[in-house]
Structure 1
Amino acid sequence: MLIARIRLISVVLCAVLVPSMVSANTALLKEVVISAERAAVLKTQGIQFSHGKRVWKLSAAKARTLYKTRTAADGTILLQLRPDKIYSYVNIHISPQVNNIGEQSRFVRENGTIVMIKGGIKGSIVDGVKTSLALRSALVSGKASVVVLMKQYRPSVFSAEDFSKLKFPDVLTTGETSFAGSPKNRVHNIKVGTTRFNGVVVMPGEEFSFNTYLGGVDEQNGYLPELVIKENVTTPEFGGGICQVSTTAFRAAMQAGLDITVRRNHSYPVAYYGAPGYDATVYQPSPDFRFKNDMKTPILLKTAVVGSKVRFEVLGTSDGRVVKINGPFTTEKKPDGSLTAAVAQIVTKAGKIIREENFVSKYQSPDKFPHATEANGEKLAQ
C-alpha cells in the first residue's frame, strides 16, 4: 500500500503539541447541569490545581477558558469541559514539574553480545482524563481546588533474561552530523545530550519521543548555557546545542526508513546542519521529535560522539525495506535569507513503495532573530 504524505512544518518554536483526550474518554464531553447561582459564581471564581506542595493558580478569566456554558431552551444552564484546553494547560504548566517517566532498561552491543547497562524504573505521569473529571466536579460543586491525579507510567522495562530473547543482528543505518567549529559549551551539551539515547530500545509499534528520553535540560542535569533559538531571539540558555542531537536522530530514523510522526525545522537556517531542510529542532516540553517503529521487530539505538561528529546507529533485524533519501533541496530563496526547502523519504519493500513522504521546511530570515556574537566569553560561530 502506498502512503504518500506531504508535511508542511510550522516554524513557531513554542507551540504545544496537544494530543486530544476526547478519544480517550468521551465522558469528558458530557454536559452537566449547574445552578444559576453556580454559573454566576464561576464568572469571578478562579481555580487552583495542586499536587503535593505545588500549587498552580488560575484567574477566573483563565479558568473560563477550560470550560464553556450554555443555556438550554428550557432555561437549564449546562456546563461542558474543553478537554484540549485543559490538556494544553496541564501539558505546559503542570506535567513538566510532576511527571516522573521512570527509566527504560538500557542495553549496548559489545563484541556481538547484548549487555544491560541500566535496569528499568517505573514512573508516574499526570492522568489527564481523571484530572479533567475532577475539575468538572469542582466546578459543579463549588470547590476552588483540584488535586492533580496521577497514573502509572511503564517505560520498556526489561530484565536481562527478557532482553536475551531479543535480537539485533543488523546495523540498519548510521546517522551522523558534524558540529565542527562549535563553542566549548555547545560541544559539552552535545556530549551530555547524546548519552541520553545510548541503549534505548523501541519496540514494534512504539513511538519514540526525543523529549521523553532527553529529560530535564538544566544545570542540575549537567548542561551549560549556550545559544538557542527561543521565540524571536537567539540567546544563551542551558542546553544550547541539543538540536545537533535531535537532528542526528532525525536523519538516522529517516535513513532507517522509520515513520517520522513529529518533526519541526528551526526558525531560520542554522549553518551547523548543512543544507537546509534536514534538521529537527526540539525544546522542552515542545516541540518534540518523534518516530514510530513500524517494523515487526524491536530496534536498539547506539549513540556516541566521535571526534566532532554525533553518531546514531540503529540496530535491529532487516525486514528487506530499501530507503532512498532525495535532498534536501532548496526550492525557494528570498534576498532576506528566508527560504523553503524539502527532503523526501521513499521506502520500498519487494519492489513496492510502502511509504513516500516529503518534508517541507519554511525558514524565516535570520535577520528577524537578533544573534549574539559572544556568549560565555567565547566568539560564536555564525
Structure 2
Amino acid sequence: TKVANLRAVDLEPARDLLLTAMSHPIQVSNAGGLWTLPATDIAQFLKQDTASGADGARTIRLGLDREKLALWLDERLGSAVEKEPVDAEVGWNGEKLVAVEPSVDGVALDALMLAELVEGRFFGDGGTVEAPLTYVKPTIDGANLEKLGITTFLGSGGSNYAGSSDGRSTNVAVGAGLLNGTLIPPWGEFSFNEAIGWIDEEKGFVEAQVIDGEKIGKDIGGGICQVSTTVFRAAFLAGLPITEWWPHRFRIGFYEYDGWDPGLDASILQPTEDPATWADFRFENPSDSWMLVESWTDGVNVVVNIYGEDLGFKVETTGPSWGDKTQLLRAQEVVDDELDPGTVMLAQVAGIGEELSHYRVVRDRNGELLWERSFYTKYFPRGDIWKVSPDMKGDAPLDPNFKFPPLPPSGVDSVGWVPGAEAIAGDQGAEPPSEEWIPPAEESAEDWVAPAGEWVPPAEESVIPAEGWSEPAAEEWVPPVEDTGSG
C-alpha cells in the first residue's frame, strides 16, 4: 500500500489563497487614466509547483508567470501609457547650434516591474498599483546638443528666382521650409526627396511650370528644383561626396542668375507616390558627427547652409569646360482642346543643346586626395512649341523656310557668343553634330572621369501628347529665350 505524499488537507492553504485572489480585481493607475484588470484575466497566468515542508509533507505554491503576464500587460496598457520621445528642432544662431523647439522625453512602460507588482496585489489584498515607467531620451536632446558634434559652417549655396510666377515662388518657399532643419546622422546619407516628402497640395505646393519629359508642362510643385539646385551647390562647395545627382534636361536661365555657372543645377522627380520611381539628389555625411542643413528664402533668393564638424576639406573646382553644341529642333504646332477659341500661344521657347562639365577635387587638411569627380551635363535641344485652339489649327507662325542659326563652336559658352560673317555663311542649315563630346584639353584623359552615362529621364518622363498639355495661367511668367520653364 502506497502512502499519499499530498493530502487534501495540504491543498487547503492554496485553495484559500486562490479564492481570496479571485475575489478582487487589480487596478493600474497612471497620469493618463485608471485601468481595471479582472481577476479572471490575471488567473490565466497562474502557475503552481510543490515543495516539501519541514515535516516532509508536500505543499502547493501558487504564483504567476511574470514574463507572459508582462507581455499581456504591455499589449493591454502600453499604447495608453507610453509616449514617443520628440526630437528637438535645431538651428544655427551664428555661433553655435541651438534648440529652436525643445525636445520632449518619451515614456515607456516597465512591463516586467508591473507584472511583479500585479502578482503581489493579486495574492495580497488587491487594490491599485502605480504603473512603473522609464523615461526615454530623444535622439536629438535639446539639453545635450553638444553630443551632435555640429560646430562648424561647411558650405553655402544660393540661387535667385526673381521673375518667377506666383505659383513657382510659392513652391520654392514651401520646399525651403520643409528642408530647413534637416539633420544627417554620422556616416548617413542626405536625400532631398526624403527631406521634403511627397510633393502634394496638402503641404502647400501649387501648380506651376515643370520640365516634364521632353517638353515644358505644368504640375504640382513646379519650381522645387530651385531648392534642390541650391542644396547641390552647398554640398558641391563643401566637398561632400555626392551619391545621386541629375542635371536638368534643358538649360534654364533661372539657375545662372547672380553669376552662377551653368551645370551647377540639380533636378529631382516624383512621377508617382512610389519612391522607387523617384529621381533624387543625395550626398553623404563622411564624419562621426551629425550635420545640419539650414535653408530659407527672402522671396527672391534661396540660401542653403550646411554645418557639421570641422572637416578641414580643401575643395578645388574647374569649369565649366564646354563641349559640342546640338542644333535646336524645328518648331511644332500642338492643338489643345482646352484652349479658348482664337488662341495661339508660345508654350515653349527653342534652345540649342550643349555639353559641359565641372571638375571637383577634394583634399583633406593635409593635402591628401580624398575624392575627385567630373560633373557632366548634357542640355538637350528644344524647339518652339506653339499651342493653338482647335479653330486655329494651322495658324501657328511656323516658317516653312526656316534655316537653323549657326552653332557656336565647341569650347565656348553659347550665351554671349556672336557669330562672325564666316560662321553665318557656313553654318546655316547645319545639322546637329553626331560625334561624341571629347573633354577639353584641361580635362585630359588621365584626369577626366567619364560620367556613368548621359542622363536618361525615367520612363514616366515621356513626350507629352497634345492632350496632356495644360494652359499656363494668364499671369504666368514668360521666360526669355534661354529660360524656358523650370524644374
TM-score w.r.t. the length of structure 2 is 0.47
Q: Offset at 1:162? A: 4.5
**Normalized per residue, which structure has more strand?**
1
Q: Would the aligned equivalents of 1:226 and 1:238 in 2 still touch at CA under 8 Å?
A: yes
* Partners of 2:371 and 2:193 in 1: CA distance: 25
* Partners of 1:197 and 1:259 in 2: CA distance: 19
Matched, 1:353 2:369: yes
Q: Offset at 1:166? A: 2.2
Q: Which has the higher contact order (CA 8 A, sep 6+)?
A: 1
In the alignment, which residue of structure 1 is the partner of 2:336? none
* Partners of 2:361 and 2:102 in 1: CA distance: 35
Q: Would the aligned equivalents of 2:218 and 2:470 in 1 still touch at CA under 8 Å?
A: no
Q: Offset at 1:121? A: 12
Q: Offset at 1:119? A: 5.6
One-letter code aligned to 1:318: D
Q: Offset at 1:294? A: 1.1
Q: Would the aligned equivalents of 1:243 and 1:282 in 2 still touch at CA under 8 Å?
A: yes
Q: Which moved more, 1:244-253 or 1:273-282?
A: 273-282
Q: Offset at 1:343? A: 1.3
Q: Offset at 1:272? A: 0.9
- Runs (4 or more) in structure 1 with deviation over 6 Å come to 368-374
In the alignment, which residue of structure 2 is the partner of 1:293? 285
In the alignment, which residue of structure 2 is the partner of 1:340? 355
CA RMSD of aligned residues (A): 2.8
**Among residues 292, 297, 303, which one is paired with 2:295 in the alignment?**
303
In the alignment, which residue of structure 1 is the partner of 2:178? 196
Matched, 1:375 2:480: no
CA separation of 1:229/1:157 partners in 2, compared to 1, >3 Å: closer, same or farther? farther
* Partners of 1:219 and 1:300 in 2: CA distance: 27
1:355-377 deviation digits (Å, cap 9, x = unpaired): 11111111211228889897222
**Structure 1 spans left out of the alignment, 5+ residues:** 1-102, 123-155
One-letter code aligned to 1:380: V
* Percent of pairs with identical residues: 30
**Among residues 278, 281, 287, which one is paired with 2:264 in the alignment?**
278
Radius of gyration: which is bigger? Answer: 2
**Among residues 78, 81, 93, which one is paired with 1:110 in the alignment?**
93
In the alignment, which residue of structure 2 is the partner of 1:362? 378
In the alignment, which residue of structure 2 is the partner of 1:248? 230
Q: Offset at 1:252? A: 0.4
In the alignment, which residue of structure 1 is the partner of 2:204? 222
* Partners of 1:120 and 1:257 in 2: CA distance: 35
CA separation of 1:347/1:120 partners in 2, compared to 1, >3 Å: closer, same or farther? farther
Q: Offset at 1:283? A: 1.4
Residue 288 of structure 2: SS of its match in structure 1?
A: coil
Q: Offset at 1:107? A: 1.1
**Among residues 257, 264, 269, which one is paired with 2:251 in the alignment?**
269
Q: Would the aligned equivalents of 2:154 and 2:310 in 1 still touch at CA under 8 Å?
A: yes
CA separation of 1:252/1:114 partners in 2, compared to 1, >3 Å: closer, same or farther? same
Q: Would the aligned equivalents of 1:304 and 1:310 in 2 still touch at CA under 8 Å?
A: yes
Q: Would the aligned equivalents of 2:189 and 2:283 in 1 still touch at CA under 8 Å?
A: yes
* Partners of 1:195 and 1:121 in 2: CA distance: 25
CA separation of 1:307/1:220 partners in 2, compared to 1, >3 Å: closer, same or farther? closer
* Partners of 2:381 and 2:104 in 1: CA distance: 44
Matched, 1:330 2:322: yes
In the alignment, which residue of structure 1 is the partner of 2:395? none
One-letter code aligned to 1:115: A
Q: Offset at 1:229? A: 1.0
One-letter code aligned to 1:269: R
CA separation of 1:364/1:120 partners in 2, compared to 1, >3 Å: closer, same or farther? farther
Q: Offset at 1:233? A: 2.4
Q: Offset at 1:111? A: 5.4
TM-score w.r.t. the length of structure 1 is 0.59
CA separation of 1:184/1:331 partners in 2, compared to 1, >3 Å: closer, same or farther? same
CA separation of 1:218/1:296 partners in 2, compared to 1, >3 Å: closer, same or farther? same
In the alignment, which residue of structure 1 is the partner of 2:12? none
In the alignment, which residue of structure 2 is the partner of 1:130? none
* Partners of 2:281 and 2:386 in 1: CA distance: 25
Q: Would the aligned equivalents of 1:104 and 1:200 in 2 still touch at CA under 8 Å?
A: no
**Structure 2 spans left out of the alignment, 5+ residues:** 1-85, 107-137, 329-351, 388-468
One-letter code aligned to 1:292: E
1:284-328 deviation digits (Å, cap 9, x = unpaired): 241100001112322111111135111011112222111122223
Q: Would the aligned equivalents of 1:106 and 1:198 in 2 still touch at CA under 8 Å?
A: no
